């Protein structure tokens, strides 16, 4: 069975090949175009509230000495991914590199010298053909997990994301082919820390709050963000972030909501612009009496705060500027797990239910 | 239901408290003993082939000014873990710290200043009471996953580690209470890299080779090693390591097989002394024609090779000394994923089956 994602990807890769072929037949130097991905062409769209690319395009030409190598690599990767899709195989970034590395006939030149070379060409192809790396069957790191009342189908298997003891389902790097069968949940809780995930599984928070628990174990990897995005869109579930009250937690939220500069060309398929922020906030420290379990800011934290004050979405938000200023003034950060100072059950029995019921979120 | 592990832990903690109480009743300064965990007391046992502690003991006394703080902390942690066990809750290392941090009455002293303080006291208690951190319900990082024909029961749930699409079961930090229900496998394949894990799930290698696939995503965390050890002992399954052909892969294998210096007091509950090493080996490079997909050694790799040549288990093994010398001579390392250079299916259809069938392992 070919999935919708596979069908679309195959069509676009074929189209890409056809264009090159026609250029050759017409006696032209083959070329293709892609949006420029430099910082200067990255914009914050006030309308759909995500980072995206502006209109600048660049052209890659086979008969341009500076482009030839990259051109050859692009065609190689496009051809290989076609095979991956057809055989229903997915490859990691490093596997792709090894799979395609060989010396060119009658030369000492290698097709690729390292996986940053193949990775960057892949990024170009993504932008040029406007399809995701995952849709090429090149996968992100498999990290992070989900727990809750959700039944899935993938690769011929049907399974549930609950009833898995103290563990959960490891979210694989490739989830384009996941079908959502049944679910019972009001929202998705996106959790920074894997120990907090364990706590919430144990406290049966997914049942009490009627939500799906997802963690990316720190910064959410692409695979997890893409899976969250798909659940958000297809199951119409709001996404609520629960991260550390520090510039790094704020950053995780920021990437989840608006996308990242590196992947600006893909924000529409990763970012969840209407995600909300539950905590930890600087106000939580006083509200819940956590003054003695804060951590002092380090220089690197202060630097990141200053940087975040320049992000357009924080800069124009009074609520967020207040948080960032409060943090700098108090000189402290507060971790999710500091809530354990009240009691282990506190987070699931009081903190989360109160915030969710009263809708106490930051934008 | 109280598990065997919980019962034992509760008994030992009670016994610990009783002893202190009796000392107080007798008018003595309360004290307890524990094996010394400094490097000088760590030995490699030729008999059972693991790292373990020698006979040196140290004593912690309440009325010794230098010990009082740690003594108080030990008793606090022992009391708290008793509650965790009774309420069937597990806590992360950082959660434990936050849960127990408070100021002492009539003073500005905190019970704990950071989680290295609580962590080191926990290590002492582990050694003193001879029970695992996990049996105290203090858990390791939840990372790594398993895939294969194995049915488990945990926390009232029954579930299978196969039929999970392209993902797997996330091995939680606490697996002491896992019951093994049914399984169909001849061995456990312990895989370094999570992208290789994905490859082998996709190629249905667990079915073809009749094995359980386990990954720790790099260095195997405690939780994964403990789970592998339990499967090895209770299901009588051999453990075969499949890691990168470099000093770091060798090190992962070394810790899996012999234990680590930091956890020498627990080797009998983590280490798998009869584990075998499948690959990658230095010989694989020639055997499988992988010369052009090796990576050059860096200074840090060469330093690690020299260090490993001094490990007693490598030093006295001609096979391992040969590997280490070959690596230094060739000046290259070889990653698991380099096998993708042959074809994506190569690892599952040729490399692994050949090695397993012919029993081509390093000791």
At residue A168, does pLDDT exceed 70? Answer: yes
The reported pLDDT for the residue numbered A293 is 93
Picking from A154, A164, A171, the nearest residue to B157 by CB comes out as A164
Contact A96, A112 (CB under 8 A): no
Is this prediction's ipTM beyond 0.85?
A: yes
The reported pLDDT for the residue numbered B4 is 87
Picking from A103, A153, A165, the nearest residue to B159 by CB comes out as A165
The reported pLDDT for the residue numbered B21 is 96
Min Cα distance B200 → chain A (Å) is 11
Put simply, the answer to whether B89 touches A145 (Cβ < 8 Å) is: no
The reported pLDDT for the residue numbered A190 is 98
The CA distance from B69 to B60, in Å, is 10
pLDDT band at A174 (very low <50, low <70, confident <90, very high): very high
Average pLDDT over residues A47-53: 79
B170 contacts in chain A (CB < 8 Å): 145, 164, 167-170
The reported pLDDT for the residue numbered A1 is 59
Q: What is the pLDDT of residues A307-316, one digit of tens each?
A: 999 998 999 9
pLDDT band at A97 (very low <50, low <70, confident <90, very high): very high
Min Cα distance A358 → chain B (Å) is 26
Closest Cα partner for A344 from B14, B138, B120?
A: B138
| Number of residues assigned to chain B | 363
Picking from B110, B157, B164, the nearest residue to A163 by CB comes out as B157
Least confident of A216-230, B37-51, B226-240, B258-272: B37-51
The reported pLDDT for the residue numbered A49 is 78
The reported pLDDT for the residue numbered A269 is 87
Put simply, the answer to whether B198 touches A102 (Cβ < 8 Å) is: no
Put simply, the answer to whether B141 touches A335 (Cβ < 8 Å) is: no
Give percent of chain B above pLDDT 90. Answer: 78
Q: What is the pLDDT of residues B170-229, one digit of tens each?
A: 999 899 999 999 999 999 999 999 899 999 999 999 999 999 999 998 889 888 999 999
* CA atoms in the 13 A half-sphere facing the CB of B330: 23
Put simply, the answer to whether A141 touches B194 (Cβ < 8 Å) is: yes
Picking from A96, A158, A292, the nearest residue to B103 by CB comes out as A292
Q: What is the pLDDT of residues A343-357, one digit of tens each?
A: 999 999 999 999 999
Put simply, the answer to whether A143 touches B101 (Cβ < 8 Å) is: no
Average pLDDT over residues B111-131: 91
What's the Cα-to-Cα distance from A355 to each of A41, A144, B337, rounded to whole Å?
Answer: 38, 24, 46
The reported pLDDT for the residue numbered B40 is 82
Put simply, the answer to whether A198 touches B172 (Cβ < 8 Å) is: yes
At residue B132, does pLDDT exceed 70? Answer: yes
CB atoms within 10 A of CB A12: 18
The reported pLDDT for the residue numbered B50 is 80
Closest Cα partner for A200 from A183, A216, A214?
A: A214
Average pLDDT over residues B68-90: 94
The CA distance from A129 to A156, in Å, is 29
pLDDT band at A52 (very low <50, low <70, confident <90, very high): confident
The CA distance from B136 to B266, in Å, is 14
A171 contacts in chain B (CB < 8 Å): 167
Put simply, the answer to whether A340 touches B174 (Cβ < 8 Å) is: no
pLDDT band at B162 (very low <50, low <70, confident <90, very high): very high
B98 contacts in chain A (CB < 8 Å): 293, 335, 337-341
Average pLDDT over residues A90-119: 89
pTM of the predicted model, to two decimals? Answer: 0.91
Put simply, the answer to whether A340 touches B139 (Cβ < 8 Å) is: no
pLDDT band at A68 (very low <50, low <70, confident <90, very high): very high
B34: which residues sit within 8 A by CB, 6+ positions away?
B57, B58, B60, B124, B125, B127, B128
Indicate the SS3 state at residue A262.
coil
At residue B300, does pLDDT exceed 90? Answer: yes
The reported pLDDT for the residue numbered B261 is 76
Min Cα distance B42 → chain A (Å) is 31
Q: Give the dihedral sign, CA B247/A194/A188/A360.
A: negative
Average pLDDT over residues B4-31: 95
Average pLDDT over residues A278-298: 96
Q: Is A330 exposed, middle or buried (0-12, 13-18, 19+ CB in 10 A)?
A: middle
Nearest CA in chain B to A145: B170
The reported pLDDT for the residue numbered B332 is 97
Closest Cα partner for B215 from B238, B199, B186, B193?
A: B193
Contact B77, B71 (CB under 8 A): no
A85 vs B267, higher pLDDT: A85
A214 vs B110, higher pLDDT: A214
Min Cα distance B317 → chain A (Å) is 32
Put simply, the answer to whether B169 touches A170 (Cβ < 8 Å) is: yes
Q: What is the pLDDT of residues A14-28, one digit of tens each?
A: 999 999 999 999 999
A285 vs A132, higher pLDDT: A285
Mutate to test the interface with A, among B165, B199, B289, B293 (most CBs of A within 10 A): B165
Average pLDDT over residues B261-269: 79
Average pLDDT over residues B131-146: 88
Picking from A98, A142, A159, the nearest residue to B293 by CB comes out as A98
Q: Of the residues B98, B183, B258, B311, which is catalytic?
A: B98
The reported pLDDT for the residue numbered B106 is 83
Catalytic residues of A: 98
A195 contacts in chain B (CB < 8 Å): 91-95, 139, 141-142, 173
The CA distance from B285 to B297, in Å, is 15
Min Cα distance B354 → chain A (Å) is 21
The CA distance from B44 to B312, in Å, is 7
The reported pLDDT for the residue numbered A102 is 87
Average pLDDT over residues A309-326: 95
The reported pLDDT for the residue numbered A321 is 97
The reported pLDDT for the residue numbered A50 is 79
What's the 3-state SS for chain B? CCCHHHHHHHHHHHHHHHHHHHHHHCCCCCEEEEECCCHHHEEEECCCCEEEECCCEEEEECCCCCCHHHHHHHHHHHHHHHHHHHCCCCEEHHHHHHHHCCECCCCCCECCCCHHHHHHHHHHHHHHHCCCHHHHCEECCCCCEEECCEEEEECCEEEECCCCCCCCEECCCCCCCCEEEEECCCEEEEECCHHHHHHHHHCCHHHHCCEEEEECCCCCCHHHHHHHHHHHHHCCCCEEEECCECHHHHHHHHHHHHCCCCCHHHHHHHCCCCCEEEECCHHHHHHCCCHHHCEECCHHHHHHHHHHCCCHHHHCCHHHHHHHHHHHHHCEEECHHHHHHCCCCHHHHHHHHHHHHHCCCEC
The reported pLDDT for the residue numbered B1 is 58
Nearest CA in chain A to B175: A166
Put simply, the answer to whether A94 touches B337 (Cβ < 8 Å) is: yes
The reported pLDDT for the residue numbered B234 is 97
């Amino acid at each position: 069975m070919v999935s919708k994602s596979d069908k679309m990807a195959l069509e676009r890769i074929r189209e890409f090949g056809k264009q090159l072929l026609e250029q050759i037949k017409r006696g032209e130097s083959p070329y293709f175009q892609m949006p420029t991905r430099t910082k200067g062409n990255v914009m914050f769209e006030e309308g759909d509230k995500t980072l995206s690319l502006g209109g600048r395009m660049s052209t890659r030409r086979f008969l341009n000495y500076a482009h030839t190598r990259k051109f050859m690599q692009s065609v190689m990767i496009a051809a290989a991914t076609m095979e991956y899709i057809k055989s229903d195989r997915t490859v990691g970034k490093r596997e792709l590199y090894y799979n395609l590395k060989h010396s060119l006939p009658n030369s000492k030149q290698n097709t690729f010298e390292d996986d940053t070379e193949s990775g960057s060409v892949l990024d170009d192809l993504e932008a040029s053909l406007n399809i995701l790396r995952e849709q090429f069957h090149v996968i992100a790191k498999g990290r992070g997990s989900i727990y809750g009342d959700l039944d899935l189908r993938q690769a011929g298997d049907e399974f549930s994301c609950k009833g898995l003891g103290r563990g959960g389902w490891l979210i694989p790097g490739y989830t384009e082919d996941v079908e959502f069968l049944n679910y019972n949940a009001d929202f998705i809780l996106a959790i920074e820390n894997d120990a907090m995930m364990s706590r919430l599984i144990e406290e049966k928070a997914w049942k009490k709050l009627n939500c799906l628990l997802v963690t990316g174990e720190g910064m959410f990897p692409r695979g997890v963000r893409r899976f969250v995005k798909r659940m958000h869109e297809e199951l119409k579930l709001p996404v609520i972030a629960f991260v550390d009250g520090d510039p790094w937690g704020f950053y995780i939220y920021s990437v989840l909501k608006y996308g990242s500069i590196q992947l600006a060309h893909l924000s529409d398929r990763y970012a969840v612009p209407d995600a909300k922020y539950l905590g930890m906030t600087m106000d939580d420290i006083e509200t819940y009496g956590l003054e003695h379990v804060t951590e002092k800011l380090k220089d690197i934290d202060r630097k990141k705060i200053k940087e975040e004050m320049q992000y357009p979405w924080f800069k124009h938000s009074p609520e967020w500027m207040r948080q960032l200023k409060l943090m700098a003034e108090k000189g402290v950060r507060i971790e999710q797990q500091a809530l354990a100072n009240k009691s282990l059950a506190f987070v699931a029995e009081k903190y989360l239910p109160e915030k969710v019921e009263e809708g106490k979120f930051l934008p």
